[in-house]
Amino acid sequence: MIEIRDAQAGDLADWMALWRGYLTFYEVEIAPDITTATWARILDPMNVLTSRVALVDGNMVGFANHHTHLTTWDIRPTGYLEDLFVSPTARGLGVGRVLIDDLVARGKERDWVSIYWITAEKNKTAQKLYDSYVGRDEFVRYCINL
């Protein structure tokens, strides 16, 4: 059984272990102060950044960090799934699907217009899951680092 809930203050150590795995997967380093600020934002009820966490047998095995924002294409907000990660030990259990399904249900409850996300071109395993929900749209991402 996979339990999904909001991240809580006592989850820091478990979330941090998953976060390190996520950063390792994407071969990036993020300064500790940014990670600390991210965690603080997740816990701040006045901030839009939220983390839904997945537990199996009481152990945290995944997270879906997300937030909403306004869009010019609809009057409802849209959801952005910023980070989705499942521990390698829990892959194949359906955790990623349950986390996405949870966000879809949350979006419907809160009247979001859509949920969107991006992934690395090399992340073929995740793309198989994502393709089971919806095909890619026609947009190409550009990013100017400042």
pLDDT tens profile 56-69: 999 999 999 999 99
| H or E element in which residue 4 lies | strand 2-6
Q: Is residue 102 a part of any domain in this protein?
A: yes
Q: Is residue 110 a part of any domain in this protein?
A: yes
Distances from the Cα of 127 to the Cα of 23, 100, 102, 137, angstroms: 18, 13, 18, 13
**CATH code for position 44:** 3.40.630.30
Q: Is residue 26 a part of any domain in this protein?
A: yes
Mean pLDDT of the chain: 96
What are the pLDDT digits (tens) for 81-128?
Answer: 999 999 999 999 999 999 999 999 999 999 999 999 999 999 999 999
Q: Is residue 146 a part of any domain in this protein?
A: no
What are the pLDDT digits (tens) for 30-63?
Answer: 999 999 999 999 999 999 999 999 999 999 999 9
Give the E-state strand segments of 57-145 in sequence order. Answer: 59-69, 78-86, 115-116
Count of the separate structural domains present in the chain? 1
Q: Is residue 142 a part of any domain in this protein?
A: no
